[in-house]
Amino acid sequence: MRIGAVILVLLAFVLLSFGFGSGEVSPVVVLRYLFGATELPDREHVEMVLWSLRLPRILGAVLVGACFGLAGALLQTITRNRLAETDLLGINGGAALGVVAGMAYVGAATATEHMLAAFVGALGGTLAVVVVARRGGETSSPLRLILAGLAIASVFQGVLGFILLEDQNHLDRYRFWVLGSLAGVRTSQLAPALAGAVPGWVLAVATVRGCAALNLGDEIAENLGHRPGRTRLLAVLSVALLTGTAVSLSGPVVLLGLVAPYAARHVERDRMGRFLLCSALFGSGVLVVADTLCRTIVRPYEAPASVLVALVGAPLLIHIARSPRPLAALDR
Amino acid sequence: MSDSFVTDPVVRTRFCSFRLPRRAMELNLALMAVMGGVLLCSLALGETRLAPGEVWAALTGAGEVGHGLLVNAIRLPRSCAALTAGAALGLAGALLQTLTRNRLASPEVLGVNDGGLMAVMIVVLFLPSASSALWMVSAGGAYLAFLLLMVFSRDIGAHGHRFLVIGIGLSQLLRAVNELMLSAGQLQHVTAVYVWSVGSFVGRGYAEALPVSAGVLFCLGWSWRLQRDIDLFSYGEATAAGVGVRTTSVKIQTVLLAAVSAGLGISVGGPLAFVALAAPVAYARLLGSPRLSLLGAALCGGGMTLTGDWVGRILLAPIELPAGLVCRTLGGLFLLWLLVHPKGRGR
């Protein structure tokens, strides 16, 4: 019921985003085109703007937002920590390091090469975290996972800083990459991104029952016949695939992974499957709105995506935290 | 933790009685010894190497004039600044982590780092003439951000959760504006601000260290009074209230102290991001008990920044690496070592 409403709102946002852009193609023109008006003066131009500029971008925003939202929700569930975000498992740090190292040492210059470097970095970071967290017997404690992630992310940030301070040009390019943007998304990039995201989604669906059991605590989950360690490993892999894909497509849009589950908990917090779906939907919704604003507020220039996600997401977060209901949820 | 309750010696006088936590005291002494060693190293070793005797002579004013200048006017003030900043950050991290019972809570989420960074950035980019008193600027920005947070959240909420979440939202907003300014600025200014935002003690001295250390000592003294209540908090808020802790007052004091010491900590050398988070964790793992000691966290933090500053000076000499980078890398590796080390137990 409520999820249906969320889906409807998301669709409305997508349509709005389809209508507004940076150029002179106004919502009225878009409406007339969509309703089949044939006497439009520059029909080819409108067609080009809609199908090869706006559509891939919107699809990219939906995809990236869903990935970040779902990854954040999974991560908060398996670490049982509501401050956990995708920064945590060394993912964003790994992606940033991958891109900067690619720029500095391998000579990666095109968008596709950056995408690949970010993906490799994100996966590498997560693998390192998992290896460290599983060493020394007690495999699956959430705190070990968090601490290992923090430590690895910190080392990555340190190494990244060394590279950036070595040469001003790296800092110059990094400061734009880190802002994130969906401006360059083309249809040809969506297929490889889907190839990364779909296995992540499948893994997430496969771990839904295990994650729901984890909510009850590791011991009860074991007594119910689940294996918490295995669930966590699968979920971490899923998070790595999802975030790696998303970061490589749009750059790090960190706040999404925190806001989306937070808002989703407002709608549905007991049934795990719906909660995860809701988080993905909220992620998409926030990113679509933010990306539309990116295109329109400083027209004809582009505003950076992470800034607008913060401008849209942070007030949402503050508003939810101020309203009385979720505090009851936090006290549970 | 439970067995140490039994074996620790207890002091009983007519007026009061208290337990002497033997293991914690040993660890604190060991940490202080290590810090003294690192301090000696950082006074003696650098681009100019001095023998321990020469350092002593310089400190007492007996040695060569050049050595005296090097030790008393450059290396010692700078090391003091690093030590103070680290202690303040470690204390802030420990306070927040106890209050929220969440290892991810650190001063960054209060928005004080981003507030300080924003103030510094505005001054560096738009009012370069005022950049001589940068530490006051950053502390001012940090406290303004904290004030904003207080206004927004009105109430701390259970375990300070509301406070933290609103803090995260605010700090993200501030960070967004910061990144926007960073992407719009000229490259040489951007590099200067980046170095500040990483954290570095180049050129810092008593001018920053003395006022800040007075503040830190005040915070430490106050938090020593709080330690007992905070220990009880770790059994849960209801239990603490049940044995007579005035929970609301303790929570407010904790948050205030955390904000004050975080602002002081970042004002000296910039936001050294990892220290506040890692110092309490490292101390707890070294101690092998989940009890959070405020003094211990401050010691750990001070040790981390002091080491970071010294290693950054000598590692690639004559190039100086910012202490923040070294702290992140070495601190991360140290935490990893504590994690995989088989003896590392506790939480």
Structural domain boundaries enclosing B30 = 23-70
Domain match, B121 and B214 both: yes
Do residues B203 and B166 both lie within one domain?
yes
> What residues of chain A score a pLDDT lower than 50?
326-332
One domain, residues B161 and B131: yes
Q: A169 is written with which tokens?
A: 């040009």
Q: Residues B321, B202: one domain?
A: yes
User: Encoding tokens for residue B18?
Assistant: 């208290």
Min distance A169 CA to chain B CA atoms (Å): 9
Cβ–Cβ of B328/A161 closer than 8 Å? yes
* H helix or E strand, kind and range, residue B185: none
Residues of A in contact with B158 (CB under 8 A): 327, 330-331
Question: What is the spatial distance between Cα B167 and Cα A66, in angstroms, rounded to a whole number?
Answer: 25
Q: CATH class for domain A2-331?
A: mainly alpha
Burial (CB count within 10 angstroms: exposed 0-12, middle 13-18, buried 19+), residue B196: buried
Same domain as B151, residue B235: yes
Same domain, B311 and B183: yes
Q: How many domains does chain B have?
A: 2
pLDDT of residue B90: 93
Write out B206-242 in H/E/C secondary structure: HHHHHHHHHHHHHHHHHHHHHHHHHHHHCCCHHHHHH
pLDDT tens profile A44-70: 777 777 777 788 889 999 999 999 999
Tell me, what's the pLDDT at A331?
Answer: 37
Beta-carbon contacts below 8 Å between A and B: 168
What does the pLDDT look like over A178-218, one tens digit per residue?
777 787 777 888 888 888 889 999 999 999 988 888 888 88
| Local mean pLDDT, 10-residue blocks, chain B (347 residues) | 62 76 84 90 82 81 80 86 92 86 78 86 76 77 87 71 81 84 75 79 82 90 85 80 85 86 86 85 82 86 91 82 87 83 49
Residues B159 and B196 in one domain: yes
Output the pLDDT for position A279.
92
Secondary structure letter of residue B19 according to DSSP? E
The pLDDT assigned to B217 comes to 92
So what's the pLDDT on residue A281? 93
pLDDT at res. A73: 92
Instruction: Please answer whether residues B110 and B150 qualify as being in contact, where contact means their C-beta atoms are separated by less than 8 angstroms.
Output: no
Residue B28, domain member (yes or no): yes
Please report the residues numbered 114 through 133 in chain A whose beta carbons come closer than 8 angstroms to any beta carbon of chain B: 132-133
User: Which one of B43, B70, B97 terminates a domain?
Assistant: B70
- What are phi and psi for residue B171, nearest 5 degrees? -65, -30
Please list the residues that pair with B10 across neighbouring strands. Answer: B19
Q: Where are the domains of chain A?
A: 2-331
pLDDT for the residue A48: 77
pLDDT of residue B298: 92
Same domain, B38 and B107: no
- Given a contact cutoff of 8 angstroms between Cβ atoms, the answer to whether B254 and B242 are in contact is no
- The Cα B103–Cα A231 span in angstroms is 22
Question: B164 to chain A: nearest residue by CA?
Answer: A83
Q: Are residues B303 and B214 in the same domain?
A: yes
Question: What's the gap between Cα B216 and its chain centre?
Answer: 10
| Set of chain B residues whose Cβ sits within 8 Å of the Cβ of A153 | 332
Q: What is the pLDDT of residue B157?
A: 66
CATH code for the domain in which residue B208 is found: 1.10.3470.10
Q: Pick from B159, B165, B326: which is nearest to A321 by CB?
A: B165
- Domain end residue (candidates: B70, B101, B135): B70
Note the pLDDT of residue A282: 92
Is residue B2 situated within a structural domain? no
Asked whether the beta carbons of residue A158 and residue B332 sit closer than 8 angstroms, the reply is yes
Q: Which of B103, B154, B172 to mutate to test the interface with A (most CBs of A within 10 A)?
A: B172
Output phi, psi for B341, to 5 deg: -60, 125
B107 and B65 housed in the same domain: no
* Domain end among B12, B40, B70: B70
pTM: 0.80
Interface of A with B in 29-68 (CB under 8 A): none
> What separation in angstroms does the CA of A279 have from each of A211, A272, A310, B188?
15, 10, 17, 41
Same domain, B232 and B188: yes
User: Chain B residue with minimal CA distance to A157?
Assistant: B328
Candidates A307, A308, A325, A331: best to mutate against B (most CBs of B within 10 A) is A307
DSSP letter string over A80-149? T-TT--TTTTTHHHHHHHHHHHIIIII---SHHHHHHHHHHHHHHHHHHHHHHHHSSS----HHHHHHHH
Q: Are residues B189 and B51 part of one domain?
A: no
